[in-house]
Structure 1
Amino acid sequence: MTDETNLIAWSLEEVAERHGDPTQAVYERLFAQSPEMAELFVGDKTGAARGEMLAVVFQTLLDFSGAGAFGANMIRAEIVNHENLGVPPKVFVTFFRTVMETLRELLGSDWTPPVAAAWDEMLAGLDAAIHREAAV
């Protein structure tokens, strides 16, 4: 594992340990920033779909920042799947940033410069991958 992957993993684990499942906090932030996104989850009465999606996002983030075995392909596939729902690729950039912002808020002063740098580096790579896919 790289230092970046270790810091990303640490931040995810630390949030889970301190706050439990961050799904509600992530989606509250997303819907506050992009209210139109809430309409896509109108059928998700229990929040199960949101929780499942966030779990996949966490796995993808860890892979993308580390081994790279499937993360880029997962993003590519989900861009296509979500386009069929009317979700433009740029929403992925927004969503990944929303995840980071939520974790940063939940960790407070433990969101150190090295953790921030690891997330910034990973998000830059994700942004580039998403823009490549959107251009195809």
Structure 2
Amino acid sequence: MNPSPNPIEQSFDLAAARCADLTPLVYQRLFEQHPETQTMFRSQGSELVKGSMLALTIEAILDFAGERSGHFRLIACEVSSHDAYGTPRDLFIAFFAIIRDTLCDLLGDQWSPDIARAWEQLLADIDAFAGIAA
């Protein structure tokens, strides 16, 4: 299988080779950096919610960074729903950086300058897109 030329997709492909489930790593980082988020998840059944939320977010990221065939629109929908939950916009956007930082740590020396630049651009684009969707 040939690696994707898309650096964002490459970062997820490389991570998948090292880790079967990013969910615990992403949420550990989220809760460490934003302890207030722990109360946003129920105590019972939250593992399924976290896994589903992360999977949908990754699908949206990959589509946003790629073809933009439709999954990326979830970002706009979730901006509105998280606003309704009272989630601050900067915290919503921070979740994408949490994913990036988790991948960076996981990949170590495989985190290339191309991947880093692509993620910086992606985060800026998502921030702008979320602002428009408001």
Using structure 2 for the length normalisation, give the TM-score. Answer: 0.89
* 1:31-69 residue CA offsets vs partner (Å, 9 max, x unmatched): 111111111113454511101111001100010011112
What residue identity is the alignment partner of 2:48? Answer: A
TM alignment of 1:22-37, pairs within 5 A: 22-37=22-37
* Identity in percent: 36
Distance 1:36 1:9 in 2: 30
Q: Which segments of 5 or more consecutive residues in structure 2 lack a partner in the other structure? A: none
Q: Which segments of 5 or more consecutive residues in structure 1 lack a partner in the other structure? A: none
The Cα of 1:93 is off from its aligned counterpart by: 1.4
Contact 1:23/1:54 (CA < 8 Å) preserved in 2? yes
Distance 1:75 1:11 in 2: 20
Using structure 1 for the length normalisation, give the TM-score. Answer: 0.88
In structure 2, the CA distance between the partners of 1:44 and 1:111, relative to structure 1 (3 Å rule), is farther
Contact 2:8/2:115 (CA < 8 Å) preserved in 1? yes
Corresponding position: 1:41 with 2:50: no
TM alignment of 1:46-125, pairs within 5 A: 47-125=47-125
Contact 1:9/1:62 (CA < 8 Å) preserved in 2? yes
The Cα of 1:70 is off from its aligned counterpart by: 2.0
The Cα of 1:13 is off from its aligned counterpart by: 1.7
